[in-house]
C-alpha cells in the first residue's frame, strides 16, 4: 500500500464540483467526476420489511422503480441509487444478492428504455461488534460482511462501499467527554487500522467482479460528533472539538483510497473534500438536501467540490409531492442540475465559491471544510502521510490553526465553550508523543480501562 | 458574462433531457393502432359512430347517431356496438399513452350526449355495468379530481352519481341506500378534510351498510391514513377508478383485496403502493 | 383602481432575487425585497387538529415554535411563517383570531430573545363555493372570509393573503378538455373580476390594522393545470397549454396589486415573476424546496427573481432530521442563504442566470417564466393593461410566440401533443373577439350550458 | 472575481448569525450561579466534595473522599450530602445551558468513582432512587445514545443497568424479572431495528410482566411508530431520561401519562411532541 505523501491537486482552486482528477466509469455510459455532478438517492427500507427476504427484495425493487420513474419524469440525465444495507441484508448474503439483482435489473431497464445513465451503489452494513465478537477481524460476522460485499459486486452493483466502525467505542468515549486524545486514538489509530484491514480485503473482491470499490467514511466517528454537536444552541459537544475530529476523520477515510478505493467516497463523509484534495478521487457529499436525515451547519458548503450530491437517507413513505424516493431524488437532482449548468456556462467556480462562502463562518465545522482550508488540512496530512497517527494529529492541529486564524481576523466568532475546548484540545494534541508506538501503548493502557468495549485484541494490538 | 452568452454555452443534454420528446414514436392515426383496430366494429353505421367518438367529434357523433335512430337502428345496439366500442378504443389509447386527458374528456362528452339521444328514443336510461357514487369530502371545495373520476367511470361504462362538493357523511349514507353502489369514491385536498373519510365509514357502519370499497384520494391524502380505517382503499390516479370498479364487479374484490392487489388491478407499478 | 399600462421595471436585467422596486417593511426590523431573500415556511396542520379550536391553536403554536427553534439553531437572520388556514379556521373567525395571536406571540418572543427577524403571513381560506352559495360575493361564506381576514390583521399577522378561486369551475372545465377559450374566460375574465371584488374589500381592512395586504395567486387555476400537466411523461394536460394558462394567470394575479396589494405575492403563484416585472412588488415563490408538496419542472428557475423562498406546504410530522417545520425551514433557509451570499458578493445576477438556465428549456412552462420571457409577457399585458380580458389573451399569445421562437431556434423541443395543442390554442385565441363584452357574452352562453357549477350571477353578470 | 475578493465583500450578518455567540452572557464561576449556590452544602467536607464534582475533578474528588472516609465521616453522608449535591448542581447547570455534555460526563465519572470508594467502606452498594434497565435494540450495534442515557440516569441518582447492544427481547424479559426496574430504555438507530421495541413489549406481555414505561428513542425512531404499540413512550433527548424516571417514581406516571405530558415532564417545548 502506498501512502499519500503528496497532494494530487496542486492548487485548491483546481477543486470543483463535478470534476475529479481521477474520474471513474461505471457502465451504462455513466462517469463520475468526469465533468458533471450526479444526484444520489438513498432511501431507508420501511419498518417491517426486515421480516423476510421477499419483503426486503420487493422493498428494494420498489424504491428503485420510484426513483427511476421520477428521474425520467423530470428529465434527469443521470442518477445513482445507493442502498445502505440493513443488518439482515448483510447477515444473509443471499438477501444481498437478490436485493442487488432486483435493483440492478430495474436500473438497467430504465437505462435501456430511456437512455438514462444510472448505477447502483451497494453499501453492506458493518455488522461486526466490538463487544460481542472478539475476533473483530476474523469472526463469523466479519465473514458475513465480506460475503455480502462479494454478493453485491457479483450481482451487478456498480459501486461497493461500506462504513467501517473500527475504533468507535474509544472515539465515542472521547466525544462524549471532550477528550481529544481518545478521539485521536479512536479515529486516527484504531479507525485507520481497521479501514486498512477491511479495504485490503474489499478491493480485490471488487476488482475480480469489475465493480468500483467506492470507499468509506468516518461516519461512525466524526458524524457521531457532528450529530451530538447539533445546532448552534445545542450543548452536547463542542463545535470546535468536532471540527478537529472531522479533520482526523479525513486522515482516516484516506486509508480506503490508499488501499485502492476509487470513489465516489461515501456521501456522509463530510471529510471528503479533504480526501479529494489529497487523492483526486471523486466524492459524494450531502448537505442542504439531506435535511430529511439530519441538520448540519454547512448545507451549501458541502456542495462546493462534490461529484455526487446525496440526500443521505429518508424514510420510505409518502409525501404530498410523491413517495420519498421520488421527492428526494428530485431535490438532489435539481441541485445537481444547477451545478451542471454552472459547469456548462463556465461559472462553476463562481457557484463553488458562493456555496462555500454561504457557510464558511457559520460554524467552525464548516470553516475547516471550505475547500481552501480543506486543502491546507490535506497538506498537513500528506506531510505526515506515512504515519496514520501523526497525520491525523497534524490534521487536527492544522484545523485548530485555521480556526484560530479566522478568529484572529475577526471572521469566525466562538463561544467560551468552543474557545476553551479548542485551546485545551490543542494543548493536549501538541503535547502528545511524536512516535506512534508510544502513543498507542499509552492509549491502550488508558482506554482499555476506561472504555469497557475496547479490546486491543480486536485490532491485533 | 451575459445571460445570452451563458445560455449559448450550455449543452442542454448535460443538464436535462426531455424524455417525452426523446421517446416519441412515429405518428399514426388512432384507428391504425393494432389493438384499436381489433376493438372497432366493422359494420356500418357502428363503425362510423365509433370513429366519431374516437375522433372526439361531438357534433358529428350526434348527427350520425340521430340518423341511425331515424333509420330504425336499435338504440341499444348503437350504444353497445358503436358508442361504447369507440370509447373502449379511446380508453385503450389513453392507457397506452397515445391519447391524453382532453381526448378522453372530449370523446366522453361526445359519447354521453349521443347516449342521451339513444335514451330519448329508448324511453328510459340504458343499462350500465353498475353504479358508483362519487363525492368530495365535507369541508372541501375542490372537485376537479372528482370530475375526472366521473368522466373515467362513465367512459368505462358505469353509471356515476355525482354528489358534488362538501358532502356530509349523512348524505353519503342516503346515497348508498338509494343507489346501492358497488363502489364509492371520495376525494379531498387537505389533511384536515381527509378526516371526513373515516366519518363516512363510521356512518355507514352505524347504518349497517357496507360497500365493497370506498376509494379515497386526492391532494394531501396519504395511503397510510386511508388504510388506518376499514372499507377504504387509497386511490392514486383518477383513471384507476374504473379498473378498481371492474375488479369489484367482475372479480368480486373488496377493499382488503384491492389494498393488496392495487398495482395488479390497475396494471402497472404504482409508487405509492410500493 | 389604476391598471398597469407600463412596466415598473425598464429592463429585465434589473430583475433579481431579493430586490423589489417597492420593498415592504413588516415590523420586527424585517423588510422584504429590500436587498435580501427571506425563507418562508408553511406547514399543513395535521389530521385531527381540525376537531376543535384548542387543538388548532395548539397546532399553530407548535408549528411556529418548531420553526423558530430551528431558525436560531442554524443561524437564519430572518424567516417568515405562513399559515394557510383550513376551512374551519376561516369559517370561525375566532379560530383565526386565536391562532394568529398564538403564532404572533411565539414569533415576537423569538424576535425579542434572539433578534431574529420574523413575521407571520396569515392566509385565510377561500371557503366560498360556486355551487352552494349563489351569492358568491355577498353570502355568509363570503362574510366569514372577510371577517377572518380582519381577525388576522387585527391579531398581528404581518401580511395577509388569500388564494381566491373565482372562475375555477370554468377554467377546470377548460383545463381538463384542452379548451383555451374556457381557460381564458375562467382566468382572464371571471378570475380577474373576482380578484378585484375581493381585494377592493381586503386592502382597506389591512390598511386599517396596519397590516401588509400581501397579494393573491392564480393557484386555483394555473396550478391546477400545472399539477395535471405533471411530469414529462404524464398525459393529462398539455404542457404548452399549461404555459399559456400560466401567462393568463399573471394578468389575473396582477389585479390584487392594482387593488393595493403590496406583496410579497403568494408563494404558489408561479406567475409571480411576470407580476413582479410589471409592478415592482416583492414576490414569494417556490420550486426545488417545495418537492414535499408537488413536483414542478422549474425548481431552480423559480428562484431567479424571488424575494421570499417557500416550501409551499408539508405534512406536520417527524422526519429523521427533525419535525417538518424544522426540516423544511432549513431547506428554504439554506437556499435563501445562498442567494444572499450571491447578493453580498455582487454575484447575484450570475446565480440568477444559473437558476434560470438550469430549467429554461426543460419544459415550456419553465421557458415562459424565465425572467427575460416573463418580462416580455409583462409587456404584452401592460400594452393591453386596461382590459383584463385582452391582457390575459395577449399574455397567452405572447407566451405562445416565445415557445415558438424557442422551437424555431432549436432550443425547445416539443412532443406532437404539445405542438398540436399549442397550434390549435393559438389559432383559437387569435380568432377571439377584441371586445371584452362580446367575448364575455359569448362565453356565458357557451359555458353556462357546459359547466354545471358556473352561474354568471355569482359574478353579477 | 476571486474567492478572497468575494469573501471580503460579505457582511456575514446578512447570511447567518451565530446566535450562540450573540446571546452569551458574562462568564461566571459555576458555584456563583444563584441556584447552584442554593444546592451546594455549606459544611465541610461536604462542600469541598461537592465542588470537586462541580469542577469535574476526578482525582481530587477521590482524594478528598478517601480522606473524609479516613476521618470517619459516614460514607452515606458523603454520597448524599456531598457527591450527589455536586451532581445535582451539575445537572442544573446543564439544563440551564451553562454546562455541556462533557462537563456532565466528567463530573459523572468523578462521582461514580467516588461513590465506589464510599461503597467499599460501606461494604455494600449504596441506595439508589430506583433501578432502570437500558438496552440497545436487537440487530443494532450503535450505543452512544444508550451510554449517554446511562450517565444521565446515574447522575440523576438511579441505578442504571447496562444491557449492552443488540439485546434480544428474551434477555430484556429476564432483566425485568431480575431487577424490577421502574423504567426501561431502548435505543435503535434504524427503522428496521426499532421494530424490536414492540417485540419486547410482546415478550413482556407474554411473560405477564409490565413496566410503567419503556422509553424508546434514537436515530431513525419516530414517535408515531413508538406510539403504535403499548407500554412505550417516545424519548427525544438522552437527558430527558432521568426526568421521565422521576415522574414515574415520584408522581406515579405511566406510559399513557408520559405520552400526554412529555413536554411538561421534561420541562420545555419539544418539537416532536407538538
Ligand atoms: Zn453514514
Ligand atoms: Zn396555492
Ligand atoms: Zn402556499
The closest CB to that of D190, out of A86, A413, A417, belongs to A86
With 0-12 / 13-18 / 19 or more C-beta atoms within 10 angstroms meaning exposed / middle / buried, residue B210 is: middle
Q: What is the mean pLDDT of residues B248-261?
A: 96
Query: What percent of chain D is predicted at pLDDT more than 90?
Result: 76
Q: How many helices (H) and strands (E) does chain C have?
A: 17, 11
Is residue B224 located within the same domain as residue B141? Answer: yes
- The DSSP result for B81-94, as a single string, is IIIHHHHHHHHHHH
CA C348/CA C395 separation, integer angstroms: 28
Residue D28 has pLDDT above 90, yes or no: no
- Say whether pLDDT at A224 is over 90: yes
Considering the domain boundaries, does residue B273 fall inside one? no
- Give residue C216's pLDDT: 97
B2 located within any domain: no
Query: Which range among A39-43, B97-101, B177-181, C318-322 shows the weakest confidence by mean pLDDT?
Result: B97-101
Average pLDDT over residues A390-413: 97
Give the pLDDT of residue A134: 63
Report percent pLDDT > 70 for chain B: 100
CA A25 to chain centre: 20
pLDDT of residue A364: 98
Separation of CA B147 and ligand 3 centre (Å): 24
Average pLDDT on C294-299 reads 97
Interface of D with A (CB under 8 A): 1, 3, 6-7, 10, 12, 15-16, 18-21, 24, 27, 94, 97, 99-102, 105-106, 109, 139-141, 143-144, 147-148, 151, 164-166, 190-195, 220, 222, 225
Cell of residue B104, nine digits: 378522453
Query: Which domain range does residue D80 map to?
Result: 29-122
- % of chain C beyond a pLDDT of 90: 95
Q: Ligand 2 centre from C163 Cα, in Å? A: 6
**CATH number of the structural domain spanning residue D70:** 1.10.1240.10
Q: Measured between CA atoms, how close is D43 to chain A, in angstroms? A: 30
pLDDT, tens digit (0-9, with 9 covering 90-100), for B193-230: 999 999 999 999 999 999 999 999 998 899 999 999 99
Closest-lying ligand to the alpha carbon of C123? Answer: 3
Q: Tell me the CA–centroid distance for residue A163 and ligand 1, in Å.
A: 6
Is D263 in the same domain as D135? yes
Answer yes or no: is B3 within a domain.
no
Question: Given A46, A50, A177, which is nearest D102 (Cβ)?
Answer: A177
Look at residue C202 in the predicted model and tell me its pLDDT: 98
What is chain B written as a DSSP string? --HHHHHHH--GGGT---HHHHT------GGGSHHHHHHS--STTHHHHHHHHHTT-HHHHHHHHHHHHHTT--HHHIIIIIIHHHHHHHHHHHHTTSS-HHHHHHHHHHHHHHHHHHHHHHTSPPP-S-EEEEEEBTT----HHHHHHHHHHHHTT-EEEE--SSB-HHHHHHHHHHH--SEEEEE-SSHHHHTHHHHHHHHHHHTT---S-EEEESTT--HHHHTTSTTEEE---GGGHHHHHHHHHHH---HHHHHHHHHHHHTS--GGG-
Can you tell me the distance from the alpha carbon of D1 to that of C443, in angstroms, rounded to the nearest whole number?
57
Ligand nearest to the CA of A266: 1
The pLDDT value given to residue A452 = 87
Cell numbers linked to D89 = 448542581
Mark which residues 27-56 of C lie under 8 Å from D by CB.
Answer: 35-36
D96 with D55, same domain: the answer is yes
| Cross-chain residue pair B139–C87, CB shorter than 8 Å | yes
- DSSP labels for A36-72? S-EEEEE-BPPTTGGG-HHHHHHHHHHHHHHHHHHHH
- For the cut 70, the answer to whether the pLDDT of residue C53 exceeds it is yes
Dihedrals phi, psi of B255, to nearest 5 degrees: -60, -35
Whether chain B has a CB inside 8 Å of the CB on C13: the answer is yes
In a domain, D196, yes or no: yes
Yes or no, beta carbons of C232 and A72 under 8 Å apart: yes
pLDDT given at position B126? 85
pLDDT exceeds cutoff 90 at B168: yes
Candidates C335, C350, C355; nearest CB to A350: C350
Checking if the pLDDT of A130 tops 80, the result is no
D221: which DSSP letter?
A: -
Residue D136 lies inside a defined structural domain of this protein: yes
Neighbors of chain C with 3 or more C-beta pairs under 8 Å: A, B, D
CA distance A232 to chain D (A): 6
Q: Which ligand is nearest to the CA of A294?
A: 1
Same-domain pairing of D257 and D137: yes
Question: Which pLDDT value is given to residue B28?
Answer: 82
Q: A88 vs chain D: nearest CA distance in angstroms?
A: 8
Nearest to C242 by CA among C450, C417, C388: C417
- Cβ-Cβ contacts under 8 Å, A245 against chain D: none
The confidence score (pLDDT) of residue D144 equals: 86
> CA angle, corner D256, sides to D252 and D262, nearest 5?
80
pLDDT at B125: 86
The residue of chain C nearest to residue B138, with distances taken between CA atoms, is C87
How far apart are the CA of C313 and the centre of ligand 3, in A?
6
| The last residue of a domain, from among B122, B146, B168 | B122
Alpha-carbon distances of B96 from B93, B150, D94, rounded to whole Å: 5, 21, 64
Shortest alpha-carbon distance between residue A46 and chain D (Å): 6
Interval C95-140: pLDDT, tens: 999 999 999 999 999 999 999 999 999 999 999 987 666 678 988 9
Chain C residues in contact with D272 by the CB 8 A cut-off are 318, 323
pLDDT at position A217 over 90? yes
Q: How far is the CA of A144 from the centre of ligand 3 (A)?
A: 50
Ligand having the closest approach to the CA of C271? 2
User: What average pLDDT does this structure show over A292-299?
Assistant: 97
Are B179 and B259 within one domain?
yes
D67 with D194, same domain: the answer is no
Which residues have a beta carbon within 5 Å of ligand 3, which is an ion? Answer: C 267-268
Mutate to test the interface with C, among A113, A334, A343, A362 (most CBs of C within 10 A): A334
How far does residue C74's CA lie from ligand 2's centre (Å)? 28
Q: Please, which chains are in contact with D (at least 3 CB pairs closer than 8 A)?
A: A, C
Q: Is the pLDDT of residue D29 over 90?
A: no
CB C334 within 8 A of CB A300: yes
CB contact under 8 A, B16 and A116: no
> Distance (Å, rounded) from C-alpha C312 to C-alpha C300?
15
Same domain, B118 and B145: no
Residue B175 lies in a domain: yes
Average predicted confidence (pLDDT) for chain B: 93
| Same-domain status, D146 and D249 | yes
**pLDDT at residue C131, as a whole number:** 66
> Which of B102, B122, B142 marks a domain boundary?
B122
Kind and range of the H or E element at D13?
Answer: none
What was the pLDDT predicted at C459? 92
Q: Could you tell me if residue D162 is inside a domain? A: yes
Closest in C66, C320, C341 to D10, CB measured:
C341
All structural domains of chain A, each given as residue ranges with its CATH number in brackets, are 12-459 (3.20.20)
- pLDDT for residue D229 is more than 90: yes
> Which whole number is the average pLDDT over A393-416?
96
Q: Are residues D156 and D200 in the same domain?
A: yes
Residue C352 to residue C14: CA distance in whole angstroms: 11
pLDDT attached to residue C275? 98
CATH code: domain of residue B191: 3.40.50.280
Average pLDDT over every residue of C388-396: 98
Distance CA B142, CA B219 (A): 9
pLDDT band at D262 (very low <50, low <70, confident <90, very high): very high
Q: What is the pLDDT of residues D135-167, one digit of tens each?
A: 999 887 778 889 899 989 998 889 999 999 889
Do B150 and B55 belong together in one domain?
A: no
| C313–A315 C-beta distance less than 8 A | no
Q: Which residue has 457527591 as its cell numbers?
A: D83
Using CA coordinates, name the residue in chain A closest to B4: A345
User: D223 CA to middle of ligand 2, Å?
Assistant: 30
All three cell numbers of C393: 389573451
Last residue of a domain, one of B122, B150, B168: B122
* A63 contacts B1? CB cut-off 8 A: no
Residue B1 has pLDDT above 80, yes or no: no
Residue in A88, A224, A357 nearest the CB of D6: A357
User: Count of domains in chain D?
Assistant: 2
Q: What is the pLDDT of residues B103-162, one digit of tens each?
A: 998 999 999 999 999 999 999 888 889 999 999 998 877 788 898 999 899 988 899 999
**How far does residue C266's CA lie from ligand 2's centre (Å)?**
7
Residue D18 lies in a domain: no
Q: Residue D97: helix, strand or coil by DSSP?
A: coil
Chain B contact present for A115, CB below 8 A: yes
Phi-psi region of C156 (alpha: psi -120 to 50; beta: other; left: phi over 0): left
Q: What's the maximum distance between 2 C-alpha atoms anywhere in chain B?
A: 75
DSSP D19-81: HHHHT------GGGSHHHHHHS--STTHHHHHHHHHTT-HHHHHHHHHHHHHTT--HHHIIII
Q: Which tens digits make up the pLDDT trace of D51-69?
A: 999 999 999 999 999 999 9
Are D113 and D66 part of one and the same domain? yes
pLDDT digit string, tens, across residues A424-451: 999 999 999 999 999 999 999 999 999 9
Residue A131 has pLDDT above 80, yes or no: no
Q: Which ligand is nearest to the CA of A285?
A: 1
Minimum-distance CB partner of C129 among B10, B141, B148: B141
Task: Give the ligand whose atoms come closest to the C-alpha of residue C285.
Answer: 3
* Residues B98, B167 within the same domain: no
Mean pLDDT of chain A: 96
Is the CB of C341 less than 8 angstroms away from the CB of A354? yes
Name the band, by pLDDT with cuts 50, 70 and 90, for residue D265: very high
CB A116, CB A79: distance < 8 Å: yes
Amino acid at each position: 500500500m502506498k501512502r499519500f505523501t503528496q497532494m494530487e491537486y496542486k492548487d485548491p482552486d483546481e477543486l470543483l464540483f463535478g470534476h475529479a482528477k481521477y474520474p471513474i466509469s461505471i457502465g451504462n455510459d455513466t462517469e463520475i467526476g468526469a465533468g458533471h455532478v450526479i444526484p444520489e438517492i438513498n432511501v431507508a427500507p420501511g419498518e417491517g420489511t426486515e421480516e423476510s427476504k421477499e419483503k426486503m427484495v420487493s422493498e428494494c425493487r420498489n424504491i428503485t422503480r420510484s426513483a427511476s420513474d421520477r428521474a425520467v419524469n423530470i428529465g434527469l440525465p443521470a442518477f445513482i441509487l445507493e442502498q445502505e444495507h440493513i443488518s439482515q441484508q448483510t447477515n444473509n448474503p443471499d438477501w444481498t444478492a437478490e436485493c442487488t439483482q432486483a435493483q440492478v435489473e430495474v436500473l438497467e431497464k430504465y437505462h435501456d428504455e430511456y437512455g438514462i445513465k444510472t448505477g447502483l451503489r451497494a453499501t453492506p452494513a458493518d455488522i461486526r461488534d466490538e463487544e460481542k465478537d472478539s475476533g473483530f477481524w476474523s469472526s463469523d460476522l466479519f465473514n458475513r460482511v465480506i460475503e455480502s460485499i462479494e454478493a453485491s459486486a457479483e450481482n451487478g452493483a456498480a459501486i461497493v462501499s461500506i462504513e467501517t466502525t473500527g475504533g468507535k467505542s474509544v472515539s465515542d468515549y472521547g466525544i462524549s467527554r471532550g477528550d481529544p486524545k481518545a478521539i485521536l486514538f479512536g479515529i486516527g489509530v484504531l479507525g485507520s487500522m481497521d479501514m486498512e484491514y477491511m479495504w485490503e480485503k474489499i478491493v480485490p473482491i471488487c476488482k475480480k467482479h469489475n465493480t468500483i470499490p467506492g470507499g468509506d467514511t468516518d461516519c461512525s466517528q466524526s458524524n457521531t460528533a457532528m450529530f451530538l454537536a447539533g445546532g448552534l444552541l445545542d450543548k452536547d459537544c463542542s463545535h470546535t472539538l468536532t471540527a478537529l475530529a472531522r479533520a482526523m476523520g479525513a486522515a482516516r477515510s484516506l486509508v480506503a483510497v490508499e488501499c485502492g478505493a476509487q470513489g465516489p467516497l461515501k456521501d456522509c463523509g463530510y471529510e471528503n473534500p479533504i480526501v479529494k484534495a489529497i487523492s483526486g478521487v471523486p466524492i459524494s457529499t450531502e448537505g442542504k438536501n439531506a435535511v430529511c436525515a439530519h441538520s448540519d451547519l454547512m448545507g451549501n458548503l458541502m456542495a462546493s467540490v462534490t461529484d455526487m450530491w446525496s440526500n443521505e437517507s429518508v424514510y420510505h413513505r409518502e409525501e404530498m409531492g410523491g413517495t420519498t424516493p421520488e421527492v428526494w431524488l428530485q431535490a438532489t437532482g435539481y441541485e445537481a442540475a444547477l451545478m451542471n449548468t454552472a459547469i456548462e456556462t463556465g461559472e462553476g467556480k463562481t457557484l463553488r465559491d458562493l456555496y462555500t462562502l454561504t457557510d464558511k463562518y457559520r460554524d467552525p465545522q464548516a470553516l475547516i471544510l471550505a475547500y481552501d482550508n480543506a486543502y491546507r488540512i490535506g497538506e498537513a496530512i500528506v506531510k505526515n502521510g506515512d504515519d496514520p497517527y501523526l497525520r491525523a494529529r497534524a490534521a487536527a492541529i492544522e484545523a485548530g490553526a485555521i480556526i484560530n486564524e479566522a478568529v484572529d481576523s475577526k471572521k469566525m466568532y466562538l463561544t467560551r465553550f468552543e474557545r476553551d475546548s479548542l485551546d485545551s484540545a490543542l494543548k493536549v494534541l501538541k503535547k502528545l508523543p511524536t512516535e506512534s508506538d508510544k502513543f498507542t501503548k499509552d492509549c491502550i493502557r488508558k482506554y482499555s480501562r476506561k472504555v469497557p468495549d475496547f479490546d486491543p485484541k480486536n485490532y491485533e494490538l | 458574462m451575459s445571460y445570452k452568452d451563458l445560455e449559448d454555452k450550455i449543452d442542454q443534454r448535460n443538464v436535462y433531457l426531455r424524455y417525452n420528446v426523446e421517446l416519441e414514436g412515429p405518428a399514426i392515426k388512432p384507428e391504425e393502432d393494432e389493438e384499436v383496430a381489433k376493438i372497432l366494429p366493422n359494420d356500418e353505421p357502428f363503425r362510423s359512430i365509433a370513429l366519431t367518438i374516437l375522433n372526439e367529434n361531438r357534433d358529428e357523433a350526434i348527427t350520425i347517431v340521430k340518423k341511425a335512430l331515424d333509420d330504425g337502428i336499435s338504440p341499444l345496439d348503437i350504444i353497445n356496438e358503436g358508442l361504447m366500442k369507440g370509447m373502449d378504443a379511446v380508453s385503450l389509447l389513453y392507457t397506452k399513452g397515445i391519447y391524453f386527458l382532453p381526448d378522453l374528456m372530449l370523446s366522453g362528452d361526445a359519447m354521453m350526449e349521443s347516449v342521451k339521444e339513444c335514451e330519448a328514443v329508448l324511453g328510459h336510461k340504458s343499462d350500465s355495468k353498475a353504479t358508483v357514487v362519487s363525492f368530495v369530502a365535507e369541508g372541501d371545495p375542490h372537485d376537479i379530481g372528482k370530475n375526472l373520476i366521473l368522466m373515467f367511470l362513465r367512459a368505462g361504462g358505469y353509471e356515476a352519481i355525482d354528489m358534488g362538493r362538501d358532502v356530509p357523511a349523512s348524505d353519503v349514507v342516503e346515497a348508498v341506500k338509494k343507489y346501492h353502489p358497488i363502489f364509492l369514491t371520495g376525494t379531498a385536498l387537505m389533511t384536515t378534510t381527509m378526516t371526513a373519510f373515516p366519518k363516512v365509514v363510521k356512518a355507514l357502519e352505524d347504518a349497517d351498510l357496507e360497500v365493497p370499497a370506498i376509494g379515497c384520494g386526492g391532494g394531501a391524502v396519504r395511503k397510510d391514513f386511508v388504510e388506518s380505517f376499514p372499507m377504504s382503499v387509497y386511490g392514486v390516479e383518477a383513471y384507476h377508478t374504473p379498473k378498481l370498479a371492474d375488479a369489484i364487479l367482475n372479480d368480486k374484490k373488496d377493499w382488503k383485496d384491492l389494498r393488496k392487489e392495487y398495482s395488479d388491478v390497475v396494471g402497472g407499478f404504482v409508487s405509492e403502493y410500493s
